[in-house]
Amino acid sequence: MTDIRITSALRLLQAADEFRAGLAGEFSSVHGISVNEFLMLLHVQRSSKQRLARVELAKRMHVSASTVTRMAAPMEKIRLLSRDVDERDARIVFVALTEAGAERLADALVTFAKRAGYLLDDRWQGSEVEQLSEMLRRLAPGAAGTLT
């Protein structure tokens, strides 16, 4: 009943929840953005042209299109992101990274790296981290738009 696959999946959810909860506090107080806003900036930056259609961004973030619309709006207001229209298809409104957005993202990445360091602390051997990283990669089959 409680086989090892169930255990692994539960641990995956728990580890992610815990890591995310820790991040959330520091992100909002230090950088003024939420974890999801950070991930949105990161997805845009790591896309081929530093811009993504909203629908595509929604898929990559595992959120609905309406969430992308509403998350992007305030960040466009403060110029972390910009609205870019497609010359060929007027339906598409790209989310693009501004210079200010890139700077904010870089700042937040420092915090993220620090937290990732807590997560994988000195007790982890380099080779163990590599193994873990590879295994986690296999767990996220969302091929298109993998962040890493």
Residue 117's beta-bridge partner residues? none
In sequence order, the 6+-apart residues with CB closer than 8 A to the CB of 93 are 53, 54, 83, 84, 85, 86
Contacting residue, 77, 122, 141, 144, with a copy of itself by CB under 8 A: 141
CA distances from 53 to 34, 35, 137, 143 (A): 21, 20, 24, 17
Contacting residue, 7, 14, 69, 146, with DNA by CB under 7 A: 69
CA distance 142 to 57: 13
Q: Judging by beta carbons within 10 Å of its beta carbon (0-12, 13-18, 19+), is residue 70 exposed, middle or buried?
A: exposed
Contacting residue, 65, 142, 143, 144, with a copy of itself by CB under 8 A: 142
CA distance 1 to 40: 38
Task: Say whether residue 11 binds a copy of itself (CB under 8 A).
Answer: yes
Please choose which of a copy of itself, DNA, none residue 71 contacts, taking the beta carbon within 5 to 8 angstroms, the exact cut-off set by kind.
DNA
Closest approach, Cβ 52 to DNA, in A, equals: 8
What is the gyration radius of the CA atoms in the chain, in angstroms? 17
Closest approach, Cβ 6 to a copy of itself, in A, equals: 5
Residue window 64-103: x/- pattern of binding to a copy of itself, with contact defined by CB under 8 A: ----------------------------------------
Contact residues toward a copy of itself (CB under 8 A) are: 1, 3-21, 39, 42, 61-62, 109, 112-113, 115-117, 119-120, 123-124, 126, 128-133, 135-142, 146-148
